[in-house]
């Protein structure tokens, strides 16, 4: 789906489907990204709690650094996951590109 970080193909290089089915199609992937970020943030806080038990600022900084570092991955996977969810709920028809 991606030709380089943060750059998507317009159409699938393998089967030719057009990824953006309508204007704003990927707005919902932003919501998927929020959910992913929340889960990652909680995981980081739990990991910190179980290991070094930092002060409250340590949790905040740890979660923020992790999310900033992971944001390109979150961006990519949010879009991939959204495509799967959309395909599940509203499958593309045979003749639809
Ligand atoms: Zn394809």
Domain membership of residue 26 (yes or no) is yes
Contact criterion met (CB below 8 Å) for 28 and 86: yes
Residue 20 is assigned to a structural domain of this protein: yes
DSSP string, 47-96: HHHHTT---HHHHHHHHHHHHHHHHHHHHHHHHHHHHHHHHHHSPPPTT-
Expressed as residue numbers, the domain containing 51 is 2-89
> Does any domain span residue 8?
yes
Q: Does residue 36 lie in a domain region?
A: yes
Q: Is residue 97 part of a domain?
A: no
pLDDT tier for residue 93 given thresholds of 50, 70 and 90: confident
Q: Which among 88, 46, 37 has a CA at the least distance from the CA of 67?
A: 37
Among 52-56, 62-66, 91-95, the least confident range: 91-95
- The rounded Å distance from CA 18 to ligand 1 centre is 9
User: Which pTM value belongs to this model?
Assistant: 0.83
Give residue 40's pLDDT: 96
pLDDT for residue 4: 86
35 occurs within a structural domain: yes
Cα 12 to ligand 1 centre (Å): 5
Ligand 1 midpoint to CA 68 (Å): 30
How many other CB atoms sit within 10 Å of the CB of residue 55? Answer: 8
The answer to whether residue 16 sits within a structural domain is yes
Structurally, the chain folds into a number of domains equal to 1
């Amino acid at each position: 789906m991606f030709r380089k970080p943060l750059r998507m193909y317009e159409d699938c290089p393998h089967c030719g489907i057009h990824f953006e089915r309508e204007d704003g199609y990927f707005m919902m992937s932003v919501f998927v990204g929020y959910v992913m970020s929340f889960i990652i943030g909680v995981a980081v806080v739990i990991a910190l709690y179980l290991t070094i038990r930092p002060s409250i600022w340590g949790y905040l900084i740890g979660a923020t650094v992790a999310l900033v570092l992971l944001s390109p991955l979150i961006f990519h996977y949010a879009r991939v996951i959204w495509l799967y969810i959309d395909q599940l709920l509203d499958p593309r028809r045979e003749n639809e590109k």
